Amino acid sequence: MRNVTLFLLGMAALAALPAVVRTQEAGYPVTLIPPGKGPYTFPADYQTPWEKIQIMVTAKMSPNLFVLHGSEGLDPAHPDASGGRVMVLFGPDGVLMVDSENRQVAEKTLAALRSFTTAPIRILVNTHVHGDHTGANAFFAKQGALIYAQENLRNEMLRQPPRANGQPVPAPDMAGVPLVTYTYNPATQGEPAVTFHMNGETVDFIPMMPSHTAGDTIVRFRRGNAIYIEDFYRNFGYPFADQANGGSIKGMLEAIDLFDKVSGPETTLIPGHGTLIKKKDLQPYRAMLIDIMARVRTLRDQGKSLKDVLAANLTAPYDKTTMGDTQQSKDRFITEVYDEVKDFPPVVDGKRTMPTHPQ
Ligand SMILES: [Zn+2]
């Protein structure tokens, strides 16, 4: 009798466990410090005071999956919160990081990480090539991180496009160049290229189509029900497709549509910048991209110059709901669309040879 009771109790306990753990742990996610809303203004000769910027734990997706981000109001590239978000999974199997933040704050990023874990740093994945996401790569490689990324990202890092003033960019620190690469394959869109089983989590590196750049990766944490979606989406400032690094507005639309496959309605999506969102929040952004592309295409087909198209102020209907809607952000977005709707150069080794526009 006693054995039967134990057996039944055991069955009841098993039945109480879901087949797959899909829901976030109770009480998560938690936002500790949301990004600022602005508006922000900086004098023309302003230089970012890196010494004043703090790197803080700004959100927690689970008891061992934290988000780091920089302080508000100091960095004109990202005034709502300096730099690009970093995610840290930690525990007995070591640390897995997503992105490495700006080089200038490397020690502070490490100190923030060391405020909650002493585990060895083992894995770093880069979501895209920009310095606010890869700047401290070499620093964290020296801490022990093995760096993963799309092969295109590695190519972009090794052969940076010349600066706007025509000056070549200095050669990268080879210690910060990804050692492990994988590629995006349209036939297996949305499938992970790499999966890690660490610290009770399952982490998928999912290579993306050319969207923010040609080397993008999103990082899914299955148990924490969270995905780092990098910068193809943004809700502070207008969209940015880095076309010289292979980015594409059309690819950003494809990226959005992929979320029906890779995420659920309650999955927390963590952009590189701006506020945390859910899948449904991608839809107004998608509609804006489609609307602006159609309007710019019409004007371009009519033979309008870039100057005319910029003067048409096509983003006006969106300014009220777009934080960080500076003139520079609008003009960059419209110029990207103008270049994309006609004679858009192909991606070669992670790059496109984009036309230049005289000021
Ligand atoms: Zn970024």
What is the CA(95)–ligand 1 centre distance, in A? 22
**What pLDDT is recorded for position 159?**
86
pLDDT (0 to 100) of residue 19: 40
- pLDDT (tens digit, 9 = 90+) per residue, 142-185? 999 999 999 999 999 998 767 777 787 788 899 999 999 999 99
How far apart are the CA of 80 and the centre of ligand 1, in A? 12
pLDDT digits (tens, 9 = 90+) for 41-50: 999 999 999 9
- CA–centroid distance, 314 to ligand 1, in Å, is 25
pTM (predicted TM-score) = 0.91
* Share of residues in the chain with pLDDT > 70 (%): 93
Give the distance (Å) from ligand 1 centre to CA of residue 233.
Answer: 10
* pLDDT tens string 240-282: 999 999 999 999 999 999 999 999 999 999 999 999 999 999 9
Residue 99 Cα to ligand 1 midpoint, Å, equals: 10
Instruction: Tell me: pLDDT of 32 over 80.
Output: yes
Query: How many angstroms is it from 84 CA to the middle of ligand 1?
Result: 5
Q: Is the pLDDT of residue 21 over 70?
A: no
Distance 167 CA to ligand 1 centre (A): 23
CA of 67 to the centre of ligand 1 (A): 14
pLDDT value of position 24: 66
- Cα 9 to ligand 1 centroid, rounded to whole Å: 51
Q: Which residue, among 232, 242, 237, has the nearest Cα to 340 in the 3D structure?
A: 242
Distance 230 CA to ligand 1 centre (A): 7
pLDDT at 299 over 70: yes
- Tell me the pLDDT band of 87, cut-offs 50, 70 and 90: very high
Q: Is the pLDDT of residue 12 over 60?
A: no
Considering the chain, what is the average pLDDT of its residues?
92
Among residues 358, 350, 357, the alpha carbon closest in space to that of 161 is found at 350
What is the Å distance from ligand 1's center to 183 Cα? 21
Under a CB-based contact definition with an 8 Å cutoff, are residues 239 and 250 in contact?
no
